[in-house]
């Protein structure tokens, strides 16, 4: 059965109940953004299947991978003596040139219908697709989402995180410097306390270990190979999860895509730390102004604000002009 979102110009059915007759139909003009399975082929919806069969062309990251997907779904088989004409596969990845994108837009304007997919999941969610969607919308071309699998929503649905807001950051940075800056940024923001990233199997251990070092009190949830046979989940405080993932990769090898989130929860953000620092510095100034020695002031501030006595003493000496 076709979903109500598809309209036939010739026939009212594409597949009969016995799956014995398949008829080619036209998909309404426009760009159809189609979600494909992230692992389990059973997750492809009938609506997505219909769009892939009816489109004039399928735009994809890798024509070989998409061809394998269609073959695995038995979507390029002969039915009886008739051959089903499948749409042409055309490459459209993150490196598509402006000329290539504009050419696709012109074809859409001329009346063609395209289904756009990525290697797995939903186009435009840390996958190619957003640029074409933007250009097509500016050109007045109808754009229709065909919802389905998404690693992001699938992961969050089983994370157990109760906060209603989260920030998706795409793929975790590659270099250590960029990663540290990323962690500094999330501790400074007040928009949310839950942050989600994708990561490759080759870098997941290094990423989680760094988080464990920089924000040891944070809560981490990580998932490997969502919807696939080796699906695994890890949840807990950062140091424990770093150990668990390190052992997982050591035992199973560096394979499988990962999603992970960091929940700062009760962890002090940099803003909170700075506020606390400002409070004890003001108290220190007051003590010094009434004649307390650097040593005595450091002792009192350290006790009341739970801050290093040496740090306070150094600050007191600077305030008294005895140290630069």
Q: Which residues of 138-159 are buried (b: 16+ CB within 10 A; e: fewer)?
A: eeebeebebebbbbbebbbeeb
**In the β-sheet with 232-237, what is the strand arrangement from edge to edge?**
167-171, 194-199, 258-263, 219-224, 232-237
**Residue of 144, 128, 172, 137 whose CA lies nearest to 34:** 144
Cα–chain center distance at 31: 23
pLDDT for position 6:
32
pLDDT for position 259:
97
CB neighbours (10 Å) of residue 231? 14
**For residues 208-226, average pLDDT:** 95
pLDDT for position 74:
81
Residue 77 pLDDT > 60, yes or no?
A: no
Q: 266-319, pLDDT tens digit by residue? A: 655 444 445 556 688 888 888 888 888 988 888 888 888 777 788 888 888 888
Distance separating alpha carbons of residues 74 and 77, to the nearest angstrom: 6
- The residues near 148 (Cβ < 8 Å, ≥ 6 apart) are 34, 35, 36, 37, 43, 44, 45, 48, 122
Residue 168 pLDDT > 70, yes or no?
A: yes
**For residues 148-159, average pLDDT:** 94
This prediction's pTM: 0.71
**Residue of 117, 146, 120, 121 whose CA lies nearest to 132:** 117
Q: Which of 5-19, 63-77, 304-318 has the lowest mean pLDDT?
A: 5-19
Q: Which of 82-86, 190-194, 206-210 has the lowest mean pLDDT?
A: 82-86
Partners of 262 in beta bridges: 195, 220
Q: Which residues of 307-323 are buried (b: 16+ CB within 10 A; e: fewer)?
A: beeeebbebbeebeeee
Confidence of residue 4 (pLDDT cuts 50, 70, 90): very low
Q: 105-116, pLDDT tens digit by residue? A: 999 999 999 999
pLDDT for position 14:
34
pLDDT for position 12:
30
Residue 199 pLDDT > 90, yes or no?
A: yes
Distance separating alpha carbons of residues 244 and 32, to the nearest angstrom: 41
Confidence of residue 84 (pLDDT cuts 50, 70, 90): low
Q: CA separation (Å) from 95 to 132, 159, 293? A: 12, 33, 65
What is the set of domains in the chain, with CATH numbers?
Answer: 30-149 (3.40.1010.10), 152-263 (3.30.950.10), 270-319 (no CATH)
User: Burial level of 192, CB count in 10 A (0-12/13-18/19+)?
Assistant: middle
Mean pLDDT of the chain: 84
pLDDT for position 207:
98
pLDDT for position 247:
96
Q: Which two tokens stand for residue 270?
A: 């940099």
pLDDT for position 234:
96
């Amino acid at each position: 059965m076709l979903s109500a979102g598809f309209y036939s110009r010739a026939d009212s059915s594409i597949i009969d109940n016995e799956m014995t007759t398949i008829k080619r139909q036209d998909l309404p003009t426009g760009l159809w953004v189609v979600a494909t399975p992230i692992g389990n082929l059973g997750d492809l919806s009938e609506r997505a299947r219909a769009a892939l069969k009816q489109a004039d062309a399928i735009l994809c990251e890798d024509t070989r991978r998409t061809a394998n997907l269609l073959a695995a779904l038995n979507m390029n088989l002969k039915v009886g003596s008739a051959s089903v004409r499948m749409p042409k596969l055309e490459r459209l990845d993150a490196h598509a040139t402006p000329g290539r994108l504009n050419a696709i837009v012109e074809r859409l304007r001329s009346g063609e219908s395209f289904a756009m997919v990525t290697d797995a999941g939903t186009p435009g969610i840390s996958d190619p697709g957003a640029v074409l969607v933007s250009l097509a919308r500016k050109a007045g071309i109808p754009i229709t989402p065909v919802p389905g699998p998404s690693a992001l929503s699938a992961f969050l649905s089983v994370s157990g995180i109760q906060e209603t807001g989260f920030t998706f950051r795409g793929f975790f940075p590659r270099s250590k410097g960029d990663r540290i800056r990323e962690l500094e940024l999330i501790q400074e923001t007040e928009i949310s306390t839950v942050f989600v990233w994708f990561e490759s199997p080759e870098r997941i251990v290094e990423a989680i270990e760094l988080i464990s070092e920089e924000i040891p009190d944070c809560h981490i949830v990580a998932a490997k190979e969502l919807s696939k046979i080796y699906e695994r989940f890890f949840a807990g405080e950062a140091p424990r999860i770093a150990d668990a993932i390190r052992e997982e990769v050591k035992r199973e090898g560096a394979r499988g895509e990962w999603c992970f989130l960091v929940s700062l929860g009760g962890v002090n953000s940099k803003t909170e730390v700075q506020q606390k620092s400002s409070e004890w510095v003001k108290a220190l100034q007051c003590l010094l102004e009434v004649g307390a020695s650097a040593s005595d002031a450091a002792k009192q501030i350290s006790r009341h604000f739970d801050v290093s006595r040496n740090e306070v003493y150094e600050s007191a000496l600077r305030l008294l002009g005895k140290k630069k």
